[in-house]
Structure 1
Amino acid sequence: MASYFTLRPWAPADLPSLVRYANNPAIARYMNDQFPHPYTEEDGRDFIAMAMEETPINIMAIEVGGEAVGGIGLHVRANIERKNAELGYWLGEPFWGQGIITEAVRQMVDYGFRTFDITRIFARPFGTNPRSQRVLEKAGFVLEARFEKTFFKHGQYIDELIYAVRRP
């Protein structure tokens, strides 16, 4: 069972905890290159400002014990992909293995289908990240595709997996 957490909008006061938990190579290794490492206060300020400008809110903080310890977002696509949204998430390492991120994904999927005009939510975990694959499976996502060696990170090619869930 997941420890108690809340999904809520990001706020400027989250900067210290954001930098503390995001500045971790164990997290950055499974994120795209827009997620920097090292993760600086300037990176955090830029991210919080960007997350706060969207209406409706599409990027949430994961709060545990009064502090932001991770993030989760839905990015609605455009053009012919406009009925789809890409899900991304991360969680501070001290909170891994407690069921938090699986439940956060479930809540974000529910929020996404209630809030946005979409019929499919997908995520693209690295083939080298079995924990994230398991999170998605436990949250009801189905593996739709595996593309061999499409991602390039830290000098190596990595398989791209596509998991998705459809509007009920």
Structure 2
Amino acid sequence: MLPVTLKIWHKTDAAALAVIANNRNIFNQVRDSFPQPYTVTDALKWIEIHGSKNPYQNYAIWVDDQLVGSIGFVPQEHERGHVVEIGYFIGEPFWGKGIATAAIEKLLQLLEQNKTYLRIEACVFSKNTASMKVLQKNKFYLEGIQHKAAIKNNVMLDIYIWVKFLQPK
């Protein structure tokens, strides 16, 4: 497995982010708020918003000295304050190398340090079987399927809800 590191986003990451994110195959597996085409301007806006939050909720995924993807989480509110939803993508040239599996493992380690978060969720489009396998490797289980819950590229898709529980410490 490759050595994966999660780092805080910096404006200097924008050009590399735009290169890996400007990819139709990635866009097809993420929410429509993810721009396509993905430009350096889009990357700078995203880094400006997400790179300054404290505590940090979004991280650049690095292998050695190369930016290869992004991973983060969104804390839920009120009675769901113990829940976070995670999301991630890996640049297509780096698919199939165990990077997403390792990045999720590292993010889970960070989330375990926060005693508030007990339930981790990931929502995956039905066509993204590779992401489902990555979640299974990290001991997520399929909680349910929301049938015909999303329309992506004019195609109705199911959303698979994957869940992992963290132990309170």
Q: What is the TM-score of this pair, normalised by structure 1?
A: 0.96
1:19-39 C-alpha deviation (Å, 9 max, x unpaired): 000000010100001111100
Aligned residues: 167
Q: How far, CA to CA, are the matches of 2:4 and 2:115 in structure 1?
A: 23
Q: How far, CA to CA, are the matches of 1:116 and 1:53 in structure 2?
A: 22
Match of 1:127 in 2: 126
Match of 2:93 in 1: 94
Q: How far, CA to CA, are the matches of 1:86 and 1:17 in structure 2?
A: 25
Alpha-carbon spacing, 1:68–1:94, altered in 2? closer, same or farther (3 Å): same
1:118 Cα deviation from its structure 2 partner:
1.1
Match of 2:26 in 1: 27
Unmatched tracts of structure 2, length 5 or more? none
1:117 Cα deviation from its structure 2 partner:
1.2
1:5 Cα deviation from its structure 2 partner:
2.0
Give yes or no for contact 1:151–1:159 (8 Å, CA) kept in 2. Answer: yes
Kindly report which structure 2 residues correspond to 1:144-163, keeping only aligned pairs within 5 A, or say none: 144-163=143-162
Give yes or no for contact 1:14–1:67 (8 Å, CA) kept in 2. Answer: no
Q: How far, CA to CA, are the matches of 1:152 and 1:143 in structure 2?
A: 21
Q: How far, CA to CA, are the matches of 2:115 and 2:97 in structure 1?
A: 29
Give yes or no for contact 1:85–1:120 (8 Å, CA) kept in 2. Answer: yes
1:123-162 C-alpha deviation (Å, 9 max, x unpaired): 0011111000000000110100101110111101100110
Alpha-carbon spacing, 1:83–1:114, altered in 2? closer, same or farther (3 Å): same
Give yes or no for contact 1:147–1:161 (8 Å, CA) kept in 2. Answer: yes
Q: Is 1:17 the equivalent of 2:43?
A: no
Q: How far, CA to CA, are the matches of 1:111 and 1:74 in structure 2?
A: 11
Match of 2:141 in 1: 142
Q: How far, CA to CA, are the matches of 1:117 and 1:30 in structure 2?
A: 29
Give the 3-state SS of the residue equivalent to 1:124 in structure 2. strand
TM superposition outliers: structure 1 runs of 4+ over 4 Å: none
Amino-acid identity (%): 32
Q: How far, CA to CA, are the matches of 2:5 and 2:133 in structure 1?
A: 21
Q: How far, CA to CA, are the matches of 1:27 and 1:152 in structure 2?
A: 16
Give the 3-state SS of the residue equivalent to 1:7 in structure 2. strand
1:42-95 C-alpha deviation (Å, 9 max, x unpaired): 110011111112111110000123232200001101122111000000000111
Which shifted more, 122-131 or 109-118? 109-118
Match of 2:44 in 1: 45
Letter in 2 for 1:25: R
Give the 3-state SS of the residue equivalent to 1:98 in structure 2. coil
Letter in 1 for 2:65: G
Q: What is the TM-score of this pair, normalised by structure 2?
A: 0.95
Match of 1:166 in 2: 165
Unmatched tracts of structure 1, length 5 or more? none
Q: Is 1:70 the equivalent of 2:69?
A: yes
Match of 1:113 in 2: 112
